[in-house]
A and B are shown apart, each in its own frame.
Chain A
Amino acid sequence: MQRFILQRLVALVPTLFGISIIVFLVMRLIPGDTISAMIGTQYKLTEVQAASLRAYFGLDKSLPEQYWIWITNALQGNFGFSVRSGQPVLGEILNRFPLTLELALGAVIVGLLIGLPVGILSAVKRDSFLDLFGRLFSLVGLALPNFWLGTIIILVLSLYLGILPNSGNYVEFTQNPLLNLQQILFPAITLGLAFSASVMRATRSSLLEELFQDYARTARGKGLREQAVIVGHCLKNALIPVITLVGVEMGYLLGGAIVVEEVYALPGVGRLLLNGISQRDYAVVQGAVIFIAFNFVIINLLADLAYAFVNPRIRYE
């Protein structure tokens, strides 16, 4: 297992390096002059002013040089400063990351709480009314845009039930756990519903496969009750692909959180990124994109490791 972890960690280096190059290059796609893009159209700069700003931001250097300066700074935790707030980008990101992570974790919990039981029931009662309902649920769940679901939840809560999700003044978990959970509940449901549909699908198909394996037939043959066969034997094996799914989807939930944070006006990394885009604060955009992408890769790595841990066959391949 140690060798497996080491191999994966080594493989991580070129991936992170590649991500940094892609993010760097994408941010250089900005058409025209970056300085004018940052300043906006309301101010007119003289040639000298623009040149000195370009030199200040290192934009007068060649692309490889710019990349080298940026990556060496980034490796030391310096992602530059926000043009709008004047604060270090990394600090702004780290301040907001606990909320984004909490939202993604909340969505995973919602997804598992709904997806696992529905998937298991759907597989066990195959072709029944329950199964039909489960499959319909997964189809709709996967097609439901989370920004619409969020909008509808807010609409129903505020207009018909008179409850506001109360996410305007976000309170951290450590300050007031109850209020924090109340604020995160509906965003987590919004983000987690599509995930629960994926979990349901994976659990159903994986459990169906296991239910017809030889070992399950043997267990039934030696007189075990069906419930014991399912819980004691099949479910353990059926959940292995679900663990991978949780890992992979957890990364995607970080992406989905961008939209959900906007819907509920939650001050997470996603909202920081969107504000950065609308305010042309490219240091913030670059920093937030690379931060989310790095986390995505690391979560995928952890999922791989968890998968290898529960499924020894993977380690020896």
Chain B
Amino acid sequence: MKSTLRRKLPRLLRYPAANIGLLLVAIYLIVAVFAGVLAPYSPIEQRAADRLQEPGAHHLFGTDEFGRDILSRLMHGASSSLRIALFAVGLATLIGTAIGMLSGYAGGIADNAIMRVMDLFFAFPAILLALSIVAALGPGATNTILAIAVVYTPIFARVARGPVLAIKEMEFVAAARCVGSNHLQILTRHILPNMVAPIIVQVSLALSWAMLTEAALSFLGLGTQPPQPSWGSMLSESRRMMEIAPWMAISPGLAIMLGVLGFNLLGDGLRDALDPRLRM
């Protein structure tokens, strides 16, 4: 499997759009991971003397109504956005893939029952389901992670189940069974490695959606809570100051857009490189 991935992944570099995606994601990751080092100011320290400064040499993207440096808040916002997106998508990938694999492998009534339950989650607009869960659990980063994970788990279950249905009928699985492999060994050693490609593609696309949802929930006041910076809440705060500090509204939105665009382009590129049959 590793050799297949190693063979197919370099194809990604053949797609110019995927390269741009890779670059955007790399910038996002570097900024998010090293925000503490790269940010010129504290993201939460308030400086009354620097209130509502226009973008300039000292504050590249200006400051907000509390005198906080917007660039520093953007950088730390990238960290919280990445943390939430990674945990949420990681959780959904683990649980969703496990459910999808077990369901597809078991087949019959169990498969039917599990997938019908999963289908129910598709009967909600994704943002509505995430919003309801956060509304019930209460606002905050941890509950945002849980909400996004719940929304994405059925999607991973569906993505994982399809390949299992095909792979479990193949000769090498029958051969593994003949030499005495148990169900767990068959699932983890023989089936899982052959279905990594669609899951990797889905992870990239899910990360972009998770970023967008985290930003939307924070914009609505339900995601990351102040004073911790989040791109969504920064945008929401900018609306109060729109007429006197329009710069506050530009950079957080641009950051969200470029991050989402990066993961979308990377996801499309990965799909074309790893699994061209899924191409739209």
Contacts and interface: CB of A to CB of B under 8 A. Distances in A.
Interface stretch (A49-57, A65-73, A115-123, A140-148): A140-148
B132 A289 contact: yes
Contact of B249 (A155, A254, A259, A292): A155
A273 B249 CA distance: 25
Nearest to A154: B242
A276 B136 CA distance: 11
Nearest to A278: B221
B260 A143 contact: yes
A148 B242 CA distance: 12
A158 B232 CA distance: 22
A159 B246 contact: yes
A205 interface: yes
Nearest to B124: A293
Grouping DSSP codes into helix (H, G, I), strand (E, B) and loop, the B interface class, with mixed when no group exceeds half, is helix
Nearest to A146: B216
A302 B222 CA distance: 33
Contacts of B137: 29-31
Interface in B235-280: 235, 238-239, 242-243, 246, 249-250, 252-253, 256-258, 260-261, 264-265, 280
A29 B242 contact: no
B203 to A, nearest CB: 17
A229 interface: no
A152 to B, nearest CB: 7
Interface in B89-123: 116-117, 119-121, 123
A251 interface: yes
Interface size of A as a range: 35 or more
Contacts of B249: 148, 151-152, 155
A19 B216 contact: no
Contacts of A297: 123
A26 B132 contact: yes
Contacts of A201: 280
A23 to B, nearest CB: 7
B128 A259 contact: no
A124 interface: no
Contact of B256 (A145, A277, A289): A145
Given A23-B132, A273-B131, A285-B132, A142 B264 contact: yes
Contact of B238 (A139, A151, A273): A151
B124 A143 contact: no
Contacts of B119: 15
Contact of B220 (A14, A159, A259): A259
Given A148-B257, A151-B253, A158 B242 contact: yes
Nearest to A21: B120
Contact of B260 (A26, A145, A149, A300): A145
Of listed A29, A145, A158, residue having the most chain B CB within 10 A: A145
A258 B136 contact: no
B124 A296 contact: yes
A109 interface: no
A22 interface: yes
B264 A155 contact: no
Contacts of B208: 143
A262 interface: yes
Contact of B125 (A22, A23, A202, A251): A251
Contacts of A205: 280
A113 interface: no
Contact of A148 (B117, B133, B253, B264): B253
A296 B232 CA distance: 26
Contacts of B123: 15, 18-19, 293, 296-297, 300
Contacts of A274: 220
Nearest to A145: B256
Interface string B185-205: 000000000000000000000
27 contacts: A15-B123, A18-B120, A19-B124, A22-B120, A30-B136, A30-B137, A31-B138, A139-B261, A140-B257, A140-B261, A142-B264, A143-B208, A143-B257, A143-B264, A151-B249, A159-B242, A159-B243, A202-B280, A254-B125, A256-B125, A258-B127, A273-B131, A277-B131, A277-B135, A277-B222, A289-B132, A292-B125
Interface of A: 14-15, 18-19, 22-23, 26-31, 139-140, 142-145, 147-149, 151-152, 154-155, 158-159, 201-202, 205, 251-252, 254-256, 258-259, 262, 273-274, 276-278, 285, 289, 292-293, 296-297, 300
Closest 9 pairs between A and B when the two form their complex, measured CB to CB: A255-B125, A148-B253, A143-B261, A18-B120, A29-B136, A143-B260, A277-B135, A255-B127, A255-B128
Given A19-B120, A254-B125, A255-B125, 11 more contacts: A19-B123, A19-B124, A139-B264, A142-B260, A143-B264, A254-B128, A255-B126, A259-B216, A273-B131, A289-B132, A293-B125
